[in-house]
Amino acid sequence: MSVNGKNLVLTLLVSLFTLGLLLGTYFFYKHFFVNQPLSVTLDNSELVNKYQIIQDRKKPVLKIEFNKVNDLAYEFQQFLYESGQILTEKELDLEITSKPNHKILNFYQEVHPSLYEALELGNYSELQEKIKEINETNPLTKADLSITKDYVYLQLEDKEYYLYTIFNRHENSFPKITNIMGSDFE
């Protein structure tokens, strides 16, 4: 084999070794500095009933089914705090699922237009009045609206059934939240 052939083989081997080292480092980082701390947080959270991390999409997706809680806004803020910066600074989509019944879904359907209007226009006091009005005619155990700097929380409960929805108030806030009306966990 000529000197040029040996150099080509050596260059190819060094390139493959470097690529392998880079990929190994990436997967090591992802497992030990992202997925494992996130799993520990999710396993120890009183808010989380079930979760699933899906990596095969453009961005990772974390699917969560919450437990029934007294104060959704407080518990979610506590959950974000406990997760450190994993949920708030990573390109991660968060899908929230609930366990609603027909009565809760009807309530949500009535409040839905006012909710999206409030998210666009910021007229949350009108939304609060609409929720109270609907709750008088279609009473639930709990129908609460909470607003923080980054999120709007709607907590609807009817005995053991519930629908928790959380909306980003700003386009650049993380995690990006998607609300799923039911549960698709197996």
Q: What is the pLDDT of residues 106-134, one digit of tens each?
A: 999 999 999 999 999 999 999 999 999 99
Q: Would you list the domain boundaries of the chain? A: 1-44, 47-180
In the predicted structure, residue 163 carries a pLDDT above the cut 70: yes
For residue 80, the model assigns a pLDDT of: 85
Q: What is the pLDDT of residue 26?
A: 59
User: What pLDDT sits at residue 174?
Assistant: 76
Question: pLDDT, tens digit, for every residue of 5-29?
Answer: 778 888 888 888 787 767 666 555 5
Q: Under a CB-based contact definition with an 8 Å cutoff, are residues 134 and 126 in contact?
A: no
Mean pLDDT comparison of 15-19, 33-37, 53-57, 142-146, highest-scoring range:
142-146
Q: Which of 110, 160, 155 is nearest to 137 (CA)?
A: 110
Here the tokens at position 116 are 């999206």
Q: Cβ of 121: how many Cβ atoms within 10 Å?
A: 10
Using only the alpha carbons of the chain, give its radius of gyration. 23
